[in-house]
Amino acid sequence: MRELNDTKIDQTALSLLRTLTGDSGAKFWPHQLEAIRALVRDRSRVLLVQRTGWGKSAVYFIATRLLRDRGGGPTMLVSPLLALMRNQIKAAESMGVRAATINSTNQDEWDEIEERVKSGRVDLLLISPERLANQKFRSKVLPAIGRRSGLLVVDEAHCISDWGHDFRPDYRRIVRVLDLLPRGVPVLCCTATANDRVVKDVIDQLGSKMVPLRGPLGREGLRLHVLKMPSHAERMAWLAQVIPRLEGTGVVYCLTVHDTIRLSSWLRSRGIDAVAYSGGTDQDSRLAIEADLLANRRKVVVATSALGMGFDKPDLAFVIHYQSPGSPITYYQQVGRAGRKLDKSWGILLSGSEERDIQNFFIESAFPPPDITSGLVRLLERTSAPMSKKGMLRELNIRPGQLEKLLKVLEVEGAIEREEWAWRRTLRPWSYDMDRLRSVTSLRRAEQKQMLDYISTDRCRMALMRQYLDDSAAEPCGICDNCDILRIHIDTNPEDLRRAEEHLRRAKHPIQPRRRFPDTGMIDPERRLEFGRVLSVWGGGGWSDLVRRGKQVDNSFDDRLVRAAAQLIRRTSWDKGSPQWVTFVPSLRNPGLVADFSMRLAASLGLACEDVVTKVRETHPQKLMQNSEQQYANVRGAFTVRPQVPTGPVLLVDDIVDSRWTMTAIAWLLRGAGSGPVYPFALSDTQGRSV
């Protein structure tokens, strides 16, 4: 490989930077040139921990060009952000870096891309971490590419560490990729979100000789504020007043998909150009929303963390959190997207009463319980043939998403191996690392406590946040709400508060019918549950507070809930005719609660309430059942229906809906006994939350 002296490296790198940025006066940030030298001249392993927007991609694009010009092999970039790197790749191509991508959508092109790599026609090969889990890719494509690589780049390197906020098991496979590289190939790991513990974990896994380059995390001009607003209605009313007064465009982060939909709907009703964005938003819509926000055609995007790593808008004027995230790393990564190239920007955290419950759910569901994990390994040990995920869900009470992560972890650890769409146990010894589980869970609780302290502190918020992230240069910012007398003080307008409460109470919450049984296939349309309604979302404001009180305190539901339910049912357009009679889901634990409410509701509607469903055995609470296989098995055979029931459309009432399998099973029986269409109605939807 041809050598370059420091002067030549510096001059060429600066010229490439100016081509990349389109700025003839561009200069390197501190550590950028140092990192490029370490990769190109010293062939070192470098860990870059720099704030969002610092220019980490410029380092590896320029290093790629310099190494290729010296005769080095192509760069292999492992990143979860391939779909968000279009602009950066286009800029890299302006300085002659030829890029190609290997992903799940272009398997037919893998052979052709491999040939282009072999013939030197690819300078930068982008790979998602999930590709490292693909057997065909690992066995056929990766070895051929790895032997030719001139630089390995690991983007969002904090994902390697299960101490990090965004641990991804597939990242653990990167350690094996290092074994495929030629001796002396430089490695660059990049992240904006790593404290001392995560940095140490990454270095321990990828090599003790790794050179860490950490920069200060302070953000000049970013004004951090905190406002405690327990209720949804307070926050919604406040946002409707404040967002139009803020200059520029911004993002409001929510902890749940439901809140993004509901809040964006409210803001639009108040004349604010808002749109919801989450992992459930289809790809075309996501691209359009991102483009509109980048071009300042949209005032505000109400998003989950799906609008996260890789989204780059230097003139984002404000980031508001509708609830507090569970860790300082997550919070700072998100709020730090504001104002990277603005003199003034806002980072406002609105603290709500429900956030602790949501954070607890995320912490408690992050890792499957030890008995489930060990149970999966024992299950595969007892099974001679490979087992599918569906078979595992039938045997184990585990969420599908948890199972997906658990399979990846066990496969990376060598305890199991994949064969097509099934898994089998290997001969490798394995035991559950209970100490690590306790340590990581304890850390999550400590981070949760740090966010509580951040909300209540009277110290400089920026300095405290930087201290949490182990930034040794932390100092008072002078502009947060604790440093400066200039604060956001806007009293909530009583009329806006009333409208917000009304919006919450009138929001439409559907019950979607299930269409397939887990074990026997499609449900006969003539015996299927119909589309139904829910009055509220548990813990989501509106009527949910009264529902909670009735269920947990009074053991009776308020007459206001009867009137609200009757109004909702009357104004609903039922697909197959309005309900002509009412029945309810019986309970052995509390037989009078739903029965009493149903009779009062039926009377308010002028309908008969018929007690036609009997519960013949006790069941576990559906909230404890973690997947459809377990939920359906829990209620199958638990109910009977009178041989003859009224024939018209029926309203099937319950207090809480969770999995929808209880109502699905009862609807099947009612239709079989001669009833008309079965419309489900519930006072609240738990959406998997504890009741």
pLDDT tens column, 172-181: 888 878 888 8
**pLDDT: which is higher, 83 or 579:** 579
Q: Does residue 178 form part of some domain?
A: yes
Residue with tokens 């409001």: 252
Range with the poorest average pLDDT among 129-138, 221-230, 279-288, 456-465: 129-138
So what's the pLDDT on residue 120?
87
Long-range contacts of 332-336 (CB under 8 A, 24+ apart): 332/193, 332/217, 332/465, 332/468, 332/469, 333/52, 333/165, 333/192, 333/193, 333/308, 333/309, 334/251, 334/253, 334/305, 334/308, 335/222, 335/224, 336/51, 336/52, 336/53, 336/192, 336/217, 336/219, 336/222
User: What's the pTM value of the predicted model, to 2 decimals?
Assistant: 0.88
Range with the poorest average pLDDT among 45-59, 105-119, 367-381: 105-119
| Mean pLDDT, rounded, for 542-567 | 96
* pLDDT exceeds 60 at position 461: yes
Report percent pLDDT > 70 for the chain: 95
> Within this chain, do residues 476 and 597 fall inside the same structural domain, yes or no?
no
Give Cβ neighbours of residue 56 (< 8 Å, ≥ 6 apart).
48, 50, 155, 190, 192
Q: Domain ends where: 164, 197, 214?
A: 214
Q: Does residue 341 form part of some domain?
A: yes
Q: What is the pLDDT of residues 180-238, one digit of tens each?
A: 888 889 999 998 877 888 888 888 888 778 888 998 888 889 999 999 999 999 999 99
> Within this chain, do residues 47 and 153 fall inside the same structural domain, yes or no?
yes
What whole-number distance in Å separates Cα of residue 25 and Cα of residue 174?
Answer: 37
Q: Does residue 176 form part of some domain?
A: yes
* pLDDT exceeds 80 at position 663: yes
> Within this chain, do residues 141 and 266 fall inside the same structural domain, yes or no?
no
Q: What is the pLDDT of residues 503-546, one digit of tens each?
A: 999 888 899 999 999 877 899 999 999 999 999 999 888 999 99
> Within this chain, do residues 331 and 307 fall inside the same structural domain, yes or no?
yes
What whole-number distance in Å separates Cα of residue 543 and Cα of residue 546?
Answer: 6
> Within this chain, do residues 289 and 207 fall inside the same structural domain, yes or no?
no
539 conformational bin, left if phi > 0, alpha if psi -120 to 50, beta if neither: left
Average pLDDT score over the chain: 90
* pLDDT exceeds 60 at position 691: no
> Within this chain, do residues 550 and 674 fall inside the same structural domain, yes or no?
yes
Q: Does residue 502 form part of some domain?
A: no
> Within this chain, do residues 478 and 573 fall inside the same structural domain, yes or no?
no
So what's the pLDDT on residue 434?
86
So what's the pLDDT on residue 175?
81
> Within this chain, do residues 204 and 271 fall inside the same structural domain, yes or no?
no
Sign of CA dihedral 663, 664, 665, 669: positive
**Domain total for the chain?**
4
Q: Does residue 498 form part of some domain?
A: no
Q: Does residue 377 form part of some domain?
A: yes
Query: What are the angstrom distances between the C-alpha of 49 and each of 21, 342, 646?
Result: 21, 22, 68
Pairing of strands 613-615, 639-641: antiparallel
Give the structural domain span for 600.
508-685
